[in-house]
Structure 1
Amino acid sequence: MKKFTFAGLAGTIAVTASLLSGTAASAEGTLKCEAGETYIMNVMVSSHPYWVPVYQGFKQAAAAFGCETVFSGTPDYDITKQIASFEQDMVKSPAGILVHPMQADPFIEPINRAIDGGIQVSTFAADSPNSNRASYITSDNLAEAKFAADEIVKQIGDSAEYAVLENPGQSNHDLRVTALLSYMEENYPNMKLVGRQATNQDSNAAYRATASIVQANPNLGAIWIPEAGSAEGAVAAILEAKADVLIMHADVTPATLEQIKAGNIHMALNPNQGMQGFMGFMAIFMAAHSDVFDPFNDYKVSGYNPMRIPYMDNGFAVITKDNADSFDLNAYMEGRDPK
């Protein structure tokens, strides 16, 4: 057997480094934007407060690299209008677009067309997985649903009645509901689902649906809601009915935060929005600057972007009455440029 020595290993490493030095990618001085290099964040329902911390994180990351940013999208909950806004963004020839696709499949062709035109695209919070998007940044919706189910059972027992509101068609909201239902069926078979209504982020629709569910099910113990808009209407209906129903929802708005502080909503599971925007920018920026990276794989012959990140978990926070002040959007935005 050949004798092994550390000196021999060091020599091998030195030779290898010498051989590679002429071919390896060098990132020195390259990770910065050129003058005017711009990245766009595109959303639907652009006035929703959820986007505010996300865009702040997006801008903070961009500033570190000397890049320009634009907030874009449509004020409407309308897939056709969001795609139109995305296409308008493409005309501006940005280096990249971070998009929250309202629906997955309608965005496949626009995303692929943008990438074919030299614009890198990543998704956040909701995905278009069959597109060629470079990355997907989100909280773990399965983990959120599991946490919600376990907390509901912890609070009201494992042989109680519960209901869900939902927003069919938006991938992250769908998963938050279907995963909770599956987890309940598998782990808490004595829990009884007595109401399931589509409210589509409409607080008025949620008010009507919740009032109907509560009236029909006087033993209702809890309700899970995959977003905050519907939670605003649900809590109003439950308070009006003077019903003892535990409310949990995902995301947060200033209105639901006040209800958490008042003890009317048990808790909210909120994606780490600032991290979502910050890492969203990093993913799209690196996809646009992938030439600085030479990984040990077949990207040169297969032709794919070596900076593809199939999934990145930005984590989620549990908002309760005890820590609600940390999620005050007005306090967070003091002294910050909203644009």
Structure 2
Amino acid sequence: MKTTFIAAAAASFLVSGFGAAVSAQEADEPWAESPFKCEPGETYVMNVMVSGVEYWFPVYEMFKQAAHQFGCEADYTGTPEYDVNKQIASFQQALAKQPAGVLLHPMNPDPFIGPINQAIEQGTAVVTFAADSPNSNRTSYITSDNFREGAEAARQIAEAMGGKGQYAVLENPGQDNHDRRVAAFIEEMEENHPDMELVGRASTGQDPNKAYQATMSLAQANPELGAIFMPEASSAMGAAQAAKEVGTDIKVMSVDVNASVLDMIQAGEMFGAINPNQGAQGYYGFLMLWLAAHPELIDPMNDYESAGFNPMSIPMLDNGFSVVTQDNAKNFYWDKYLKKRGTRGIEG
């Protein structure tokens, strides 16, 4: 929590510093002219897997806004497939253009260790978001707290079911943020809601069709199934459709939302969702990435020069999350957000 506070305060200073007045003495100092601006052509990239997933769009929207406020160029890259090798290839294609930094969502932690370290060796800063590669040399990591997300989802479901009943989970083993959410969900149930019984787990690979089939199978095998949780939105669409066809009151809850999920929540076909504050994730993600690319601005009282490490380091910044219900789901639609802002999203 202390790290989060310090990071947020630093980000606030960066933004407010643009218009800050300086004294006559400060005006003579070498840093009096604001250094928080890019050189012509200085480019920052966001890289993801399953690039058509709506979750990324508000993240990039605010990443792009922060970049433009600094006078930088921004680019959205990735691969449409749920395939770590293809994402690594798209990451390396981005590196070939020598960007100043990459805000990266690594599909799996360990396969990205080498590519991230390669990027840093060539002088491209790397900050991870939403999912991490903790054993790499990435400078910082921004995310909503996946453990708190999973635990909160469990509390919401357990409370709605009166603390007693059967539940199941859909998952994507190997993607670390999803693994954390599922682990925290189950741990919260086991430790604080002992009358909630886990009756099944199924891997879906973020495929709505697999989620539909898995939910059908789980419901048929467990007629008393009362809830099903998944750590992302794509599987929620298939699970909610299956729950609707089964005709029982299975409470479907996801992390992340898209327009279809929001429609189902408003229609009462899904119980709810946990949604990270995506815009904050993109905006603060850019600020951390920009500082990682400009370590000369940071002079801590430590041995960074002789030890040879980047003095910019925020191990984890929590961008927070919201609980989406039938009452507030109208506030989370991407198209309405884009219309309000008057921008073109990932297209411009």
TM-score (structure 1 length as normaliser): 0.91
Deviation at 1:296, TM superposition (A): 2.0
CA distance in 2, matches of 1:188, 1:25: 59
What are the residue-to-residue correspondences of 1:1-339 with 2, within 5 Å?
26=31, 28-334=33-339, 335-338=342-345, 339=348
Aligned length: 317
Distance 1:27 1:188, change over 3 A: farther
Q: CA 1:25–1:176 in 2, change beyond 3 Å: closer, same or farther?
A: farther
Gaps of 5+ in 2: 1-25
Q: Which amino acid letter does the alignment assign opposite residue 229 of structure 2? A: W
The one-letter amino acid paired with 1:245 is I
* Structure 1 pair 27–270 and aligned structure 2 pair: CA distance change class (3 A): farther
Give the whole-Å Cα distance in 2 for the aligned partners of 1:59 and 1:175: 28
Q: Report the Cα offset of residue 29 of structure 1.
A: 2.2
Counterpart of 1:323 in structure 2: which amino acid? N
Go from structure 1 to structure 2 and tell me whether the alpha carbon gap of 1:28 and 1:297 turns closer, same or farther (over 3 Å shift). Answer: farther
Name the amino acid aligned to 1:337. R
Q: Does the 8 Å CA contact 1:31/1:289 hold for their aligned counterparts?
A: no
Partner of 1:12: none
Letter in 2 for 1:300: E
Give the counterpart letter for 1:277 in structure 2: G
Q: Structure 2 vs 1, CA of residues 25 and 291 (structure 1 numbering), >3 Å: closer, same or farther?
A: farther
- SS of 1:168's equivalent? coil
| Whole-Å separation in 1 of the counterparts to 2:55 and 2:237 | 14
| CA-CA distance at 1:30 after TM superposition | 1.3
CA RMSD of aligned residues (A): 1.3
Structure 2 CA distance for aligned equivalents of residues 36 and 96 of structure 1: 13
Q: What letter is aligned with 2:265? A: I
Contact 1:27 1:293 in 2 (8 A): no
Unaligned runs of 5+ in 1: 1-20
Note the C-alpha offset of 1:188: 1.9
User: 3-state SS of the aligned residue for 1:309?
Assistant: coil
Cα distance in 2 for residues equivalent to 1:332 and 1:186: 38
Code of the residue aligned with 1:90 in structure 2: it is L
Larger radius of gyration: 1
Residue 45 of structure 1 and its aligned partner are, at CA, apart by 0.8
Taking the aligned partners of 1:227 and 1:244, their CA distance within structure 2 comes to 21
Structure 1 runs (4+) deviating above 6 angstroms are none
Q: CA–CA distance in 1 between the matches of 2:223 and 2:333?
A: 34
Alpha-carbon spacing, 1:25–1:234, altered in 2? closer, same or farther (3 Å)? farther
1:297 positional shift: 2.1
TM-score normalised over the length of structure 2:
0.89
